[in-house]
Amino acid sequence: MDFKQTVLEFIQRSQSRPFGLAGEYLLKADDPLQVADFFNVTYGTKVWDSLNSQRKFFNLLRHNTWGNVIGYRIRSARNPQSQPIGEIQALPDVGKQTYMSVYTLPRQVVTPVGSSELAQWIATKEGGIGDAMAKELQFGEIDHVKELQQEMLLSAVDIVMTAGASNTAALANPTSHRIGDVVLESQNEATGGIVLTAINDVTGVISFTKTDGTGANSLVQGTAVTTASRKGMTSLDDIIEQDGRTVAGTANQNVECYNFSTGGTGGSGPTTTRTALSWNAANVFDGAGVARDFDTDYIDEAVETVRFWGGEPDLFLTGTDQQRHFKQALQIQRRYMETGDFVVKRGGEENIPGQRAGFQVSTYDGIALFADVDTPHSVTGAYGLAGSNFYCLDTPWLEVGVAFTTEYFEQRDPIIVGKLAIVGLFRTTMELKCYDFRKQAKIVDLL
């Protein structure tokens, strides 16, 4: 081999063969080195999260200390004796306001985490994630708050896809329930409802027993089931409801929340009745179980109704699909609008940059619009899910009452744990409260 060459000649020769000059010998080998011959796959300590862990709605509402009482009172009617009188007319009888009592207990939500002692030790070796328990804590914190958010946005209604065998059925939206929830089929509350004992989020199959503990009970295919009580937090969808609606083709559906189904303390509190315009019924604008296209007229009607009842909506909440439909509905107005970005910030969250009305909608009628992926969907008579609901909220009348802020407990003693492991637990105790139902509205049955 002639090494007496210029630098230019060396570069030209090197570029003419794979691997430069060594290529003359590597290409002749029958079994060249490969990656697997000298490299073992290792993984960094960073764990990337591919799940959507946003919790916008949870951040948008105010969180207050629970306080010294369990319940609260809502004035539902004025003093009926207010009236004009003549010059010497006798005074009317003394009247009084009408007060209704509501109580709800704080709900406990937990997220357990843990790691075996061996896994914790191995994770610190080459290729491990480092401190395995620290990673579990990192994502445990995220998942705990995500669960709180999702419970606040569970759907109040569902539909039976298949009846199945006794004590089982498949629902269209099983993620709208939690084990321990009590649901009713149609309005027949005399049966006491059924309590969910198992939920398969993949297949949609639930297992259940009657609340009175007797015999098998079955659900009818194609009928709606509604929520009677929650094991966890009362959801926004439970609160913004009224009796007698047609849901997924089944007429006269009732959705309970708080203690409405028990009649309050000693039976003297609110009854199960949540008929339209009553004090404990919110404003629901539906399509009688038939999904329809999005229209801004529905939004205008919801806003007008809330204002009629003395509210002032300050938050629109919906899913990303209805946000897209909203944008499309307002697109025609873009030519009349000024150009510019407008971002609304609230509760540590901010919506996407956009114009006041245009391709990216940040506000409508002066009300902030936020899209949350956990917003519940309506169910249709076609045994499936429609689009996201659209909520028109007056948030000063909504709050998250916190009895115990999030706490973390950990135990490493194998005698106490009962196994060679490190276990931890996140615990939060809170409830979603509503102090005026008439000042809240939702639009359902949207495509």
Which amino acid is residue 251, in one-letter code? A
3-state SS assignment for residue 84: coil
Strand partners, 428: 109
Average pLDDT on 63-76 reads 89
CA–CA gap between residue 178 and residue 158 (Å, rounded): 13
As a whole number, the mean pLDDT across the chain is 82
Is residue 55 over pLDDT 70? Answer: yes
Is residue 107 over pLDDT 70? Answer: yes
Is residue 27 over pLDDT 70? Answer: no
Q: Does residue 50 fall inside a structural domain?
A: no
Is residue 23 over pLDDT 70? Answer: no
Q: Are 392 and 313 in contact (CB under 8 A)?
A: yes
pLDDT at 7: 64
pLDDT at 383: 67
The residue with greater pLDDT, 116 or 10, is: 116
What domain count does the chain have? Answer: 1
Range in 152-166, 251-265, 341-355, 427-441 with the lowest mean pLDDT: 341-355
Range in 198-212, 242-256, 304-318 with the lowest mean pLDDT: 242-256
Radius of gyration of the chain (CA): 30
Average pLDDT on 83-104 reads 88
The residue with greater pLDDT, 247 or 439, is: 439
What's the angle, vertex CA 99, arms to CA 93 and CA 101, rounded to 5? 155
Average pLDDT on 155-167 reads 84
pLDDT at 431: 96
pLDDT at 125: 87
Average pLDDT on 169-186 reads 87
Helices (H), 263-393: 296-308, 320-330
Q: Are 243 and 275 in contact (CB under 8 A)?
A: yes
Residue 377 φ/ψ, nearest 5 degrees: -105, 155
Q: Does residue 151 fall inside a structural domain?
A: yes
pLDDT band at 238 (very low <50, low <70, confident <90, very high): very high
CA–CA gap between residue 213 and residue 233 (Å, rounded): 24
Average pLDDT on 127-136 reads 88
CA–CA gap between residue 420 and residue 118 (Å, rounded): 8
User: How many CB atoms are closer than 10 A to CB 155?
Assistant: 25
Q: Does residue 313 fall inside a structural domain?
A: yes
Q: Does residue 332 fall inside a structural domain?
A: no
Strand partners, 158: 225
pTM above 0.85, yes or no: no
Say if residue 198 is exposed, middle or buried (CB neighbours under 10 Å; 0-12, 13-18, 19+): exposed
Structure tokens at 90: 């006798």
Calculate the alpha carbon distances from 181 to 209, 224, 230, 265, 274 in Å.
11, 15, 5, 21, 20
Closest by Cα among 210, 162, 155 to 182: 210
Calculate the alpha carbon distances from 327 to 143, 297, 319, 340, 356 in Å.
31, 14, 13, 16, 11
| Biggest distance spanned by C-alpha atoms of the chain | 131
Is residue 265 over pLDDT 50? Answer: no
* pLDDT tens profile 195-210: 899 999 888 898 888 8
Q: How long, in residues, is the chain?
A: 447
Q: Does residue 343 fall inside a structural domain?
A: no
Average pLDDT on 172-188 reads 82
Residue 231 φ/ψ, nearest 5 degrees: -75, -35
pLDDT at 269: 42
Q: Does residue 336 fall inside a structural domain?
A: no
Calculate the alpha carbon distances from 21 to 1, 2, 27, 79, 140 in Å.
10, 12, 11, 101, 55
Residue 198 is part of which domain span? 56-63+105-319+372-443
Share of the chain above pLDDT 90, in %: 41
Q: Does residue 391 fall inside a structural domain?
A: yes
Q: Does residue 2 fall inside a structural domain?
A: no
Sheet holding 441-443, edge to edge: 283-285, 441-443, 390-393, 315-318, 367-371, 363-364
Average pLDDT on 308-324 reads 94
pLDDT at 358: 45
Residue-wise DSSP of 151-191? HHT--SEEEEEE--STTEEEES-GGG--TT-EEEETT-GGG
pLDDT at 248: 76
Average pLDDT on 78-100 reads 88
Average pLDDT on 286-305 reads 93
Q: Which of 44-53, 139-148, 214-223, 377-386 is most confident?
A: 139-148
